[in-house]
Amino acid sequence: MSELLSPNQQAAVERLIGFIPLLESGALRDVHTAYITTGEYPAPLRDLQITFKTAALAPESDNWLAWSEQARPYLQQPERIALSDAETFSRLLSIATHSERFNRSLFPHLCASGFMLHLLKRLQANHNH
């Protein structure tokens, strides 16, 4: 995968992978509640979201709402991300990149639910090959 990315995208992927320990630690487990309570993203969540956007890994035109029913199993069981095919993985990256356009509370939920952790682990696996 890394040979298909620009140098800026490669650097952004490495920054994204750097969020894995934070997600594994459970530090973002309550971010959804914090967002609902305050209406603001906590700093680590905001940093993660900005890094996803600057990485530009998902095409702007990918309309994930059109296939949201197909994404449901990955949202409900994030560990399935590891087994997703390349096209599905690309679409799952779209959810992480563009989710706030349609539902501002979805991004914090993705972090709290384990979806983001599994997505970044898959990104790491792809990046290392």
CA distance 106 to 84: 21
Phi, psi of 24 (to 5 degrees): -65, -30
| pTM attached to this predicted model | 0.86
Write the pLDDT tens digit of every residue in 108-129. Answer: 888 989 999 999 999 999 888 7
pLDDT at residue 2 above 60?
no
Which of 14-23, 35-44, 96-105 is least confident? Answer: 96-105
Q: What is the pLDDT of residue 63?
A: 67
Tokens matching residue 43 = 């700093």
Answer for the pair 9, 53: CB distance below 8 angstroms, yes or no: no
Residue 59 is predicted with a pLDDT of 64
